[in-house]
Amino acid sequence: MLILVVAYGIKSIFFTTQSMPRYITARVEQGNVEKTVLADGQISAFKLVNVGAQVSGQIQKLYVQLGDEVKVGDMIADIDDLKQNNDLKQSEASLASLEAQRKAKEANLKNYQLIYDRQLKLVKRGVGAQSDLDSAEAQLDSVKAEITSLDADIVRAKIAVDTAEVNLGYTKIISPINGVVVAIPIEEGQTVNSVQSAPTIVKVAQLDKMTIEAQISEADVINVKKGMPVYFTILGRPNERFSGQTLRAIEPAPTSINNETSTTSTTSTAIYYNGLFDVDNPDHILRISMTAQVYIVLDEADNVLYIPSASIQQNLGNGKATVFILDNEQNVHEKEIEIGVDNNVNVEVKSGLNLGDTIVLSSFDGSSISNRTPRVRF
């Protein structure tokens, strides 16, 4: 045993061998590279209408339930119409009275017109008194003025009738759009008061298409433009990508503007701008207020060669960079390549490398690659 220990010591001192350097490497792969902006999104209905009451009264009948599909003109609810009916009858009665008064005045007008014409003929013949003609003319003008006044009163009365008819119609609540009933904040038998505010009877939403509001940070919004492609995922289906949409608009002001009392006010909270896009929802999988993970595609390259972004040793500018490649003899070479889309995870290789080439990221002990192994740049 002593002889073996001595032999091993002699070998360690006089016959040491240099160990081969070991590297962390990666292969040149082929696939898609995309550069995206990640944003939190909230799903809302493409169109949501609060169907309210424009008159006060008790809800006598509700014709819909949550989830019901309705079309334009479908009955939603009935409001007690006793007051509106009485207002209409009173307005119609006032109009009828004024029209009757006008007919009586028209009859007087014909009579006073005959008197005036007769007095005028007598005066022209020289057998009538001028005072009688003046009196007949005054009476004629007075009746004409009264008729003109009645005409104005009749116009106002007709407006009152029209208004009463409209108010009566308001007691029949109908759907203004095609959609689905998503909320019913009132109960049958409840009294609504339209004087203080317009009470909401139901909320109807169009769910065949949804709108997604993506909150884009102020650091990213400068790189985002209208028309860029977007895709998203939802919590219920994290592995399914909903794609094929484009950014419809970017709101010019941050979401916090609604809470600010002055445009010059400052805040220490993060600033976000809403990016809007629409998505078809024929199966109603997407629901109001769902959370979406939104990806806005800034740039992309399909079916290209790519390497890890961490393997870039030096960015030379103008789309040029250098990497270290490892040959079959475990020799490291520095090589200049042309790069494209870089998402900080993978970077597109336009030229300079082949599929399957071995790229050196670093040495296992963290030391410099160039200090460990001689390199040849080509």
CATH of domain 36-46+205-299: 2.40.30.170
Tell me which of 56-60, 126-130, 151-155, 271-275 is least confident: 126-130
End-to-end CA distance of the chain: 53
Higher local confidence (pLDDT), 112 or 180: 180
Domain ranges for the chain = 18-34+301-377, 36-46+205-299, 49-77+177-202, 82-169
Task: Answer yes or no: are the C-beta atoms of 203 and 44 closer than 8 Å.
Answer: no
- The SS3 of residue 51 is strand
Q: pLDDT tens digits, residue range 3-49?
A: 544 455 544 544 444 455 678 889 999 999 999 999 999 999 999 99
Tell me which of 83-92, 229-238, 240-249, 355-364 is least confident: 355-364
Residues 6+ away with beta carbon under 8 Å from 377:
322, 333, 334, 335, 336
Report how far residue 271's alpha carbon sits from residue 265's, in angstroms, rounded to the nearest whole number: 13
Q: pLDDT tens digits, residue range 180-194?
A: 999 999 888 888 887
Mean pLDDT of 300-316: 92
Mean pLDDT of 256-261: 66
Report how far residue 64's alpha carbon sits from residue 61's, in angstroms, rounded to the nearest whole number: 9
Mean pLDDT of 128-139: 82
Q: Which CATH architecture has domain 18-34+301-377?
A: Beta Barrel (2.40)
Q: Does the global pTM surpass 0.85?
A: no
Is 70 exceeded by the pLDDT of residue 261? Answer: no
Tell me the pLDDT band of 339, cut-offs 50, 70 and 90: very high
Q: How far is CA 247 from CA 250, 289, 295, 325, in A?
A: 8, 19, 11, 40
Q: What pLDDT does residue 266 have?
A: 53
Q: What pLDDT does residue 14 have?
A: 47
Task: Answer yes or no: are the C-beta atoms of 202 and 270 closer than 8 Å.
Answer: no
Q: What pLDDT does residue 286 have?
A: 94
Q: What pLDDT does residue 203 have?
A: 95
Q: Which CATH architecture has domain 49-77+177-202?
A: Beta Barrel (2.40)
The pLDDT mean for the chain works out to 86
**Cα–Cα nearest to 44, from 295, 200, 213:** 213
DSSP H or E stretch at residue 123: helix 82-125
- 17 C-beta neighbours (distance < 10 Å), count: 6
Q: What pLDDT does residue 54 have?
A: 86
Residues 6+ away with beta carbon under 8 Å from 37:
216, 220, 223, 224, 295, 296, 298
Is 50 exceeded by the pLDDT of residue 304? Answer: yes
Q: What pLDDT does residue 9 have?
A: 52
Q: What pLDDT does residue 372 have?
A: 46
Tell me which of 10-19, 202-211, 245-254 is least confident: 10-19
- 344 C-beta neighbours (distance < 10 Å), count: 9
Report how far residue 24's alpha carbon sits from residue 288's, in angstroms, rounded to the nearest whole number: 48
Q: pLDDT tens digits, residue range 46-71?
A: 999 999 888 888 999 999 999 999 99
Report how far residue 76's alpha carbon sits from residue 53's, in angstroms, rounded to the nearest whole number: 11
DSSP H or E stretch at residue 91: helix 82-125
Is 50 exceeded by the pLDDT of residue 95? Answer: yes
